[in-house]
Amino acid sequence: MARSGNKNDDREFRVYENVDELSSNLAEYIAELSESCIKERGVFAIALSGGSLISLMSKLSEAPYNKTVDWARWYVFWADERVVAKSHADSNYKLVKDGFLSKVPIMHSHVHSINDLVSAEQAAEDYEFVVRQLVRKRVISVSEVNDCPRFDLILLGMGPDGHIASIFPNHPVINEIDQWVTFITDSPKPPPERITFTLPVINSASNVAIVVTGGGKAEAVHMAIDDMSGDCPELPARMVRPINGELVWFLDLSAASKIESVKFSE
Ligand SMILES: O=C(O)[C@H](O)[C@@H](O)[C@H](O)[C@H](O)COP(=O)(O)O
């Protein structure tokens, strides 16, 4: 690792020399969490996002993890999904299937993708229902603080505007506290129709990792992490603060280049 650091609020920052080093460490982080959660609960409930994240976690489907991870205990969800057919180039399900699921022996019945045959609103409602059923069966555990689902790990990317999942800056979905899964039809990043976990669900997870690379996101990383004087922008990435869980930022040197207020050690 190039550098690591903490803020005095439990957020952890891991900064790597390059994308290759980040990818290796991200795979190791996921494999370790999988092992400890399976030891503790017998299953591992992980939620993924779209974008570059999926190629950044691709080493998890290679040796040694393809043999050492207990894939039969994995349950896979999406923290956000684009409402398009599963075969569509924009589908996060397709991205994950092509880049990850097709390479590891996760049971098909443990992969919970959205219903792509209905409207965004209905897809969000259906997906929340699926999550509720699995909370009831304790495949997903439950937060003692607020009764929200408590995923073992939620993996997020971040856009250059500071969005995470499909929660965008200045969008009313930021303030959604009643639903676990909601929908939007006006995403500034195409395609426009998406479903997304809400912030209360993201912040109820046991572990959240935000994975960001490239200088084009350095300003958003700074806005999301550093102490801001005056009015704090309502940046979704800044609002990821697990109530009773761990947050780790995985960054390469370029993405971390504008961070000011974290004390790093080599
Ligand atoms: O489906 C999506 O669009 C996302 O889940 C979104 O939140 C993504 O993770 C970020 O936009 C980062 O994407 P990149 O890493 O490709 O920039």
**Is the pLDDT assigned to residue 256 strictly greater than 80?**
yes
More confident residue, 126 or 262: 126
Pocket test residue of 158, 194, 195 for ligand 1, highest count of atoms within 8 A of CB = 158
> How far are the Cα atoms of 26, 220, 256 from residue 216, in angstroms, in the given order?
21, 8, 11
Return the percent helix, strand and coil in the chain, to nearest 5: 35, 20, 45
The Cβ of residue 172 has, within 10 Å, a number of other Cβ atoms equal to: 8
Q: How far is the CA of 189 from the centre of ligand 1 (A)?
A: 9
> Of all atoms in ligand 1, which is nearest to the CA of residue 217?
17
Return d(Cα 82, Cα 151) in angstroms, integer. Answer: 20
> Of all atoms in ligand 1, which is nearest to the CA of residue 51?
16
DSSP string, 46-110: EEE--TTHHHHTGGGGSTTHHHHS-GGGEEEEESEEESS-TTSTT-HHHHHHHHTGGGS---GGG
Q: How far is the CA of 257 from the centre of ligand 1 (A)?
A: 20
pLDDT digits (tens, 9 = 90+) for 149-190: 999 999 999 999 999 999 999 999 999 999 999 999 999 999
* Gyration radius of the chain over CA positions: 17
pLDDT for the residue 26: 98
Tokens of 69: 């991870």
pLDDT digits (tens, 9 = 90+) for 207-252: 999 999 999 999 999 999 997 776 666 899 999 999 999 999 999 9
Q: Which residue's CA is the nearest one to ligand 1's atom 6?
A: 165
pLDDT for the residue 54: 98
pLDDT digits (tens, 9 = 90+) for 70-100: 999 999 999 999 999 999 999 999 999 999 9
pLDDT band at 16 (very low <50, low <70, confident <90, very high): very high
Tokens of 68: 């050492």
Q: How far is the CA of 81 from the centre of ligand 1 (A)?
A: 10
Least confident stretch, 2-6, 124-128, 143-147, 195-199: 2-6
> Of all atoms in ligand 1, which is nearest to the CA of residue 156?
9
More confident residue, 146 or 227: 146
- State the average pLDDT over residues 39-65: 98
Cβ–Cβ < 8 Å for 188, 130:
no
Q: Which residue's CA is the nearest one to ligand 1's atom 13?
A: 51
Q: How far is the CA of 170 from the centre of ligand 1 (A)?
A: 17
Q: How far is the CA of 92 from the centre of ligand 1 (A)?
A: 9
**Is the pLDDT assigned to residue 8 strictly greater than 70?**
no
- Tell me which residue of 34, 53, 56 sits closest to 45, measured CA to CA: 34
pLDDT for the residue 57: 98
**Is the pLDDT assigned to residue 49 strictly greater than 80?**
yes
Half-sphere exposure of 235 (CA within 13 A, CB side): 20
pLDDT band at 3 (very low <50, low <70, confident <90, very high): confident
> Of all atoms in ligand 1, which is nearest to the CA of residue 163?
7
What's the pTM value of the predicted model, to 2 decimals?
A: 0.97
pLDDT for the residue 4: 82
Q: How far is the CA of 118 from the centre of ligand 1 (A)?
A: 23
Q: How far is the CA of 187 from the centre of ligand 1 (A)?
A: 12
> How far are the Cα atoms of 12, 67, 120, 145 from residue 161, in angstroms, in the given order?
21, 38, 23, 30
Ligand 1 binding site (Cβ under 6 Å of any ligand atom): 49-53, 80, 82, 92, 157-159, 163-165, 189
**Is the pLDDT assigned to residue 202 strictly greater than 80?**
yes
Return d(Cα 224, Cα 115) in angstroms, integer. Answer: 32
pLDDT for the residue 230: 65
> Of all atoms in ligand 1, which is nearest to the CA of residue 211?
15
Cβ–Cβ < 8 Å for 195, 182:
yes
**Is the pLDDT assigned to residue 147 strictly greater than 70?**
yes
What is the average pLDDT score of the chain? Answer: 95
